[in-house]
Amino acid sequence: MSKIIRVGVTFPPDLLKELDKLLQDMGYESRSKAIQDSVRVLVNEYRWIQEQKGTRVGVLVMLYDHEAKGLDASLIDAQHEHSNVIYSSMHIHLSERNCLETIAVKGKAEEIIDLVRRLKTKRGVKSVKLSIVS
């Protein structure tokens, strides 16, 4: 049996409130179990993406706060640096702060993965999902 290690995690109050409601709705008995499950999904998704090789076609879906300082310019720079794998993009204003962007990609899996990594780690980006279709 492996040893359990305790870690501390910080949450914005509104996200924690949403998490607690979701956990209650889903029947989780503890935050720890839910967070462990979520981390497993993240790890498995990352491993799956890392296994992609060769030419791939897919779509990135990104949700972000366009009012985050410097984010717009940073996202544009990242997309220009990966223009060889970006075929099209669509920008949708969801609310005063939230934008949804879809990016059609085709090219070397490694370059698409690098684009995902660059976008996902920016402050203000709430979510980036990659769906590979071939």
pLDDT at 49: 66
Model pTM?
0.66
DSSP notation for 13-48 = HHHHHHHHHHHHHHT-S-HHHHHHHHHHHHHHHHHH
State yes or no: pLDDT of 2 exceeds 80: no
